[in-house]
Structure 1
Amino acid sequence: MQYKELIHAIGLMYAVLSAVQGIKVQATTLNQDTIVGISVAILVLLFSVQKLGTDKVGFMFAPAVFVWFMMIGIIGVYNIFKHEPGMLRAFNPKYIYDYFKANKKDGWISLGGVVLCITGTEAMFADLGHFSVRAIQIGFTSIVFPSLLAAYIGQAAYLFKHPEDIGQTFYKSIPGSIYWPMFVVAVIAAIIASQAMISATFSIIKQSLALGCFPRVKIVHTSKKFVGQIYIPEMNWLLMILCIIITAGFRSTAKIGNAYGICVVAVMLVTTSLLTIIMLMIWRTNIFLILAFLLIFGSVEVVYFSSVLYKFKDGGWLPLLFAGIFLAIMSVWHYGTVKRYEYEMMNKISMDWVVGLGSNLGVVRVPGVGLAYTKLALGVPAIFSHYITNLPAMHSVLIFVCLKYLPISVVPERERFLFRRVGPKAFGMYRAIVRYGYQDTEDEHETFQSSLFYHLKEFLKSDSLLTESAATVADQRHFAEQQLQSTSLSIYPSNNSIMPSDIRRSDESTGAVGTETEVAFLERSIQAGVVYIMGQTEVRASRESSFVKGFLIDIAYSFLRKNSRESRLALHIPSESLLKVGMINYV
């Protein structure tokens, strides 16, 4: 996942810098410092407008990209027929064998540059989450692939006559009369491709956050129509700083291209490996088809990967360095989160202890609703005992809210909430498991609150119907037993006897909610006020922990927690409705 982020960042720099470098074909007096300065200015401008949202400038994306592909395709066809029509013979696979036979090691090394011919199309798939699979398939086969083939074959035809222009083949092969319009379109296309990569980076971070593999960051949804259009300020500015440093440091597309190639081919290898596992364990594909897939795609990717690794010292080390940094951050955060969850599981409160407190839970019950957030989907969290030990009062209705992020894209609204009671009815305690997919959007607290209470009322109504139905069956069975027993004494039962159903209703009337139903009692509690209860936990390594564990928990994980976004802000909880309960977890 961190490799995908690196692809987008390095591809962004490569696209912008390579597009701007074309200006040297006409403006020969410009030096490389000026080119780098223009590229940096474009990057700063590009990152500065991210907070406006993709939908604000998205109307120009499709027309500009369409014009770009049409123009490079037409120019490619023009160069083929003008310079060398016989270049179409390159489709013959025999020339692949002849090329490697003639160039041997140099031919293998050149594969690192050849792979850059296909990496540009990766930007199209970067926004796969914003478009359907069918749209990508149609766009690629009908426009992207033919245009790229024509463009590259046309450049090869141009080089056949002008081999001295190998450094600026694309811009040199453009007819002089349309050079400047083509340069403008190329820069716009590079900016659009960069925008797609930035948006894809935000989506990957959001998915990592939902799966518990990345520290909490601020996520801003910039569009009310499209769920996938988000903006993450922290990552936006961090990405901008890294792009500027690398662009100013490398100063050329050659080294950035080497780093880009390693990223792309490494992701291809990982994708092929994971898809092979899916075919084997999930799809249950025929083993011979799996081996054929792995052999065909894997062998080609291994050859390309070995070639790009040859240029490791010439910029190829960059993605591995950043991948190691991101992997360390994600691993430390995941390790600390798992240890914290294990502590909560080991120290959760038994239901027998809760029942032993009585109907008032050992404290004064005040009107209102308390929403206590917890990681536990089962059992009563330790924060509950800590809360009632330090405070003499508790809300009349207490709901333990557990947010779960599932490894699926979207959870339907009707399946988002799961409820169950915690203890007897008189306790007024419930558990709500709220499920999200990694592409779902967490609602603002007003919307979340109203939706939560609506589904809780529906749960109480359905639970009441089930209880009455079960009680009716039990009453009928009990009444039948009484009739059988009374036949030995009298043919007719006494009219003054109290039926079990009447006893049950009488018992309910003396419960904590009085004569009111649970739904009406819940509505009155909501009107009295809603308070969000969250644990302010501090995670520390236990005394018997090793030095490595102490470093990971007390220093690394603690640093990430202190510098990550506060959980209440990530959940859109207003500070005036928040109650924090401090605890120390020794893991």
Structure 2
Amino acid sequence: MVEKTSAADGKPKKSLPALALAATGVVFGDIATSPLYSLQQAFGEQGIKPDHDSVLGLLSLCLYALLIVVTGKYVLVVMRADNHGEGGMMALGALARGAMRGHGRLTWLTIMVGLAGAALFFGDSVITPAISVLSAVEGLQLASPAMKEWVLPIAVTILIGLFLLQRGGSALLGHLFGPIMTLWLLSIAALGVVAIVQNPKIFEAVNPYYAVLYMQHNGFKGFASLGAVVLVLTGAEALYADIGHFGTRPIRVSWLCLALPALLLNYFGQGARLMAQPGQSGQPFFALVPHTLLYPMIVLATLATVIASQAVVSGTFSMVRQSIQLGYLPRARVLHTSKEMEGQIYLPAINMILFVAVMVAVLAFRSSQRLGGAYGIAVSGTMLITTALLLLVAKRQWRWGIFRLVGFGLLFGIIDGAFVAANLLKLPQGGWFPLVVAAIAMLIMTTWRRGRMLTIQRLHAREERLDGVIAKTMADSPLRADGTAVFMTRSRKWAPHALLQNLRHNQVLHQRNIFLHIDDGGDSSRVGEKQRSELQDLGNGFYWVHLRFGFNEHIDVPARLRELGFDPVLEPEQLTYFVGFDELTAAQKKGQMWRWRKMVFIYLYRNALPAVLYYGMPARRLVEIGTRVDL
């Protein structure tokens, strides 16, 4: 593998072919396994017969969905909206929030829309592993009908193994992901080519007239089938979310040169086979596979779906970490599984929650056909929200003109809106499931954010000004202890409660006292070198330190403190951290928050990872001082 060195950071930089190969394994896992179930759902849900015109019409819809939505919208436009090189719903939401800052209720509405997009992503992340693995294993039924009873146990076993391996990090198998997914894409392309050669008339689907004819002929059923057409787009968000790992160019090269052609060839191949043998609409993908290659293809499909599931799980970990650092979720343990790649992380609590949710989906729906009813609504909802947020960024930051904004908004607003409306028809068949997951995620995020704001308001109501406390302390001349004390504080204006309590009860100060404010909830994924740290000498052994972290950066406070211009340099064993611990209680009255939401917030607060552990502070150098807060 050829490696280059970046002059900016001195780190090895892989060549474009190597990055494109890696992107194939990580970015396209979800969308590359869509052929396993997309057309199956399209003809299975609405009772549309796979006759000549219906097959051509449906393929035409899939073709232009991939070209217009994935290539036109995501690859060419959305991927330009990078937040200091990072993508994804939280990054786009932060950009939109920054663009609307200072607009009052519009800012609040932008935040809520971004959170709704993140919540829908969580719903999607539950369904994707379940339907992908089930659809791959169900190929065993074609090889041997007696294997039907083993499909569910095998799928459950594979998923258990997937979540057990998360602790080791995707680096364990990361070097295999690219070659396996490349083999998968080349294989499904070859299967499609064989079927197309036997029935080349399938290329008539390139004519969009057949898409219009399909909608006219099938009426409401045709509109409802858009809920299945959107399944060919699952994973489109990954192209944007993973630009921080690979950059835009490798993803675009891999999509245009490999993934898109392979997907189109396979879909057209499935269509060609259906036109010749309409009775195989139950599993059109595996109908392309010769019987002698069925078992190897099932194994390859299973590997591909595991990789797709791994990518979704890893994306969920990244999304949760960004949400934590933006202040929308309680702190959780974040383990870094790779010394080379910052983005490879593992969150034990989130892994367990996601595992339980996926198992509930698998055991409740029991087949990919039934899960198809639950799939798509989160995907289409996320796409619609992406369009809305992108319009804000395009207007405020890219300075798009009114005609360009209206044209883009109308085109993709109509397309995304149609997909959402069609998927809403699937609510009784299981579409409610990802919405329930998303609603729970939204409730937790908004409750945590509101609860933290309310807690800070209560604390500020009884705080004293920092400059006044310092002046009074100097006048009283308390005893001085050796070493350095670090007091966590939320504001430059107010004295931390831990300092006040320490003076009141112990009547002693350290020789050096640092008021530390950590800002990890900004709109940027990474903070520039000059903005990382701020040090101000307040006199008489008092210092104000402001540390800034982007929402995609690893937080290590002791390491950052050692970088400051103190003499001598601050070492971990020289510091004592004083942290306030808030004992929360829920008042009986409603106040600014319903009591049941207060109880939810208190539960989350008590189970959140302590700040000192989250920020990398050594527990043996910690002094906690409690404060009672009535919400």
Question: Is the shorter-chain TM-score for this pair beyond 0.5, marking a shared fold?
Answer: yes
Kept in 1: contact 2:327–2:449 (CA 8 A): yes
CA distance in 2, matches of 1:573, 1:352: 26
Q: Pick from 490, 499, 505 the counterpart of residue 390 of structure 1.
A: 505
Letter in 2 for 1:144: A
In the TM superposition, residue 449 of structure 1 has moved relative to its aligned partner by 2.7
For 1:281, the equivalent position in structure 2 comes to: 396
Task: Identify the residue that residue 488 of structure 2 maps to in structure 1.
Answer: 373
Aligned residue among 133, 144, 157 for 1:16: 133
Counterpart of 2:161 (choices 31, 45, 51) is 45
Paired AA for residue 246 in structure 1: A
- Offset, 1:189: 0.6
Q: CA offsets per residue over residues 132-156 of structure 1, 9 Å max, x none?
A: 1111111111111111100000100
Partner residue in 1 for 2:150: 34
Task: Identify which range, 544-553 or 54-63, moves more after superposition.
Answer: 544-553
Contact 1:540 1:585 in 2 (8 A): yes
Secondary structure (helix, strand or coil) at the match of 1:366 reads strand
Aligned residue number for residue 494 of structure 1: none
Whole-angstrom distance in 2 between the partners of 1:529 and 1:93: 71
1:330 aligns to 2:375 (yes or no): no
1:79-94 equivalences under 5 Å are 79-82=195-198, 84-94=199-209
Q: For this pair of structures, how many residues does the alignment match?
A: 513
Instruction: Please state how far the C-alpha of 1:388 moved relative to its aligned partner.
Output: 0.6
SS of residue in 2 equivalent to 1:104: helix
Instruction: Return the offset for 1:98.
Output: 1.2
What is the 5 A alignment of 1:456-535?
Answer: 456-457=565-566, 519=567, 529-535=574-580
Percent identity of paired positions between Structure 1 and Structure 2: 31
With over 3 angstroms needed to count, the CA separation of the structure-2 counterparts of 1:528 and 1:210, relative to structure 1, is closer
Deviation at 1:71, TM superposition (A): 0.7
Distance across 2 between alignment mates of 1:38 and 1:214: 34
Partner of 2:382: 267
Helix, strand or coil at the partner of 1:455:
coil
Q: For residues 414 and 55 of structure 1, do their structure 2 counterparts lie closer, same or farther at Cα, with a shift above 3 Å needed?
A: farther
The corresponding residue for 1:77 is 193
Structure 1 residue 359, shift from structure 2 partner: 3.0
Give the deviation of 1:282 after TM superposition. Answer: 2.7
Partner secondary structure for residue 226 of structure 1 = coil
Checking the alignment, whether the CA contact within 8 Å between 1:126 and 1:196 is kept in structure 2 is no
TM-score, normalization: structure 1? 0.83
What does 1:138-149 correspond to in 2, within 5 Å? 138-149=253-264
Contact 2:527 2:548 in 1 (8 A): yes
Residues 1:432 and 2:567 aligned together: no
Q: For the residues of structure 2 that align with 1:20 and 1:127, how far apart are their CA atoms?
A: 28
Distance 1:180 1:210 in 2: 45
Aligned with 1:455 (options 564, 570, 573): 564
* Cross-structure match for 2:85: none
Correspondence for 1:208 among 319, 323, 336: 323
Cα distance change of structure 1 residues 122 and 148 upon mapping to structure 2, 3 Å threshold: farther
Which residue number in structure 2 is paired with residue 575 of structure 1? 619
Q: CA distance change for structure 1 residues 52 and 535 in 2, over 3 Å: closer, same or farther?
A: same
Question: In the alignment, is the contact (CA less than 8 A) between 2:489 and 2:496 conserved in 1?
Answer: yes
Structure 1 residue 160 displacement after superposition: 0.4
Q: Max radius of gyration: which structure?
A: 1
> Within 5 A, what are the aligned runs for 1:148-163?
148-163=263-278
Instruction: Mark the CA change 1:273 to 1:542 in structure 2 (over 3 Å): closer, same or farther.
Output: same
Distance 1:65 1:404 in 2: 40
- Partners of 1:117 and 1:358 in 2: how far apart? 67
Counterpart-to-counterpart distance in 2, 1:361 and 1:552: 44
Measure the CA separation in 2 of the matches of 1:299 and 1:558. 42
Deviations 1:466-525 (A, max 9, x none): xxxxxxxxxxxxxxxxxxxxxxxxxxxxxxxxxxxxxxxxxxxxxxxxxxxxx3xx56x9
Contact conserved, 2:123 with 2:435, CA < 8 A, in 1? no
Q: Give the C-alpha shift of residue 18 in structure 1.
A: 0.5
In 1, Cα distance between equivalents of 2:435 and 2:565: 49
Q: Is contact 2:189–2:266 with CA below 8 Å preserved after alignment? A: yes
Superposed CA deviations along residues 80-117 of structure 1, whole A, max 9, x for unmatched, are 011x1011010001111111121111111111112212
Please report how far the alpha carbon of residue 125 of structure 1 lies from its aligned counterpart in structure 2 after TM superposition: 5.1
1:6 equivalenced with 2:115 (yes/no): no
Gaps in structure 2 of 5+ consecutive residues: 1-117
Is the CA contact 1:127–1:197 (under 8 Å) kept in the aligned structure 2? no
Question: 128-137 vs 526-535, which deviates more?
Answer: 526-535
2:219 partner amino acid: K
- The letter for the 1-side match of 2:192 is G
Shift of 1:343: 3.1
Match of 2:6 in 1: none
Identify the residue that residue 554 of structure 2 maps to in structure 1: 441
Q: How big is the shift at 1:352?
A: 5.3
Q: Is 1:116 the equivalent of 2:231? A: yes
**For 2:473 and 2:383, how far apart are their aligned partners in 1?**
60
Tell me the amino acid that sits aligned with residue 190 of structure 1. T
Note if contact 2:489-2:495 (Cα within 8 Å) is conserved in structure 1.
Answer: no
Question: Take 2:589 and 2:497, find their aligned partners in 1: how far apart are those partners?
Answer: 22
Name 1:409's counterpart in structure 2: 525
2:610 counterpart residue number = 566
Residue identity opposite 1:63 in structure 2: P
Q: Quick one: which of 61, 65, 71 aligns to 2:177?
A: 61
Q: In structure 2, the residue corresponding to 1:167 is in which secondary structure?
A: coil
Q: Secondary structure at the match of 2:442?
A: helix
> 1:241-261: per-residue Cα shift (whole Å, max 9, x none)?
111121011011123222221
1:172 aligns with 2:305: no
TM-score, length of structure 2 as denominator length: 0.78
User: 2:500 is matched by which residue type in structure 1?
Assistant: S
1:546 pairs with 2:591: yes
| More divergent stretch after superposition (565-574 vs 195-204) | 565-574
Please state how far the C-alpha of 1:281 moved relative to its aligned partner: 2.6
Residue 544 of structure 1 deviates from its aligned partner by 6.5
* Cα distance per residue 1:399-458 (max 9 Å; x no partner): 011110122111134431111133xx22x1111111000110012xxxx4354144132x
Relative to structure 1, is the Cα distance of residues 390 and 76 closer, same or farther in structure 2, using a 3 angstrom cutoff? Answer: same
Q: Map residues 157-306 of structure 1 onto 2, 5 A cutoff.
A: 157-306=272-421
- SS across alignment from 1:303: helix
Q: Note closer, same or farther for the CA distance 1:154–1:543 as it changes in structure 2 (3 Å cut).
A: closer
CA distance in 2, matches of 1:355, 1:193: 56
* RMSD of aligned residue pairs (Cα, Å): 2.0
Match of 2:534 among 393, 418, 421: 418
Conservation of the 8 A alpha-carbon contact between 1:126 and 1:197:
no
Q: Which amino acid aligns with 2:265?
A: A
CA distance in 1 between partners of 2:413 and 2:330 (Å) = 34
Task: For 2:576, give the aligned amino acid.
Answer: V
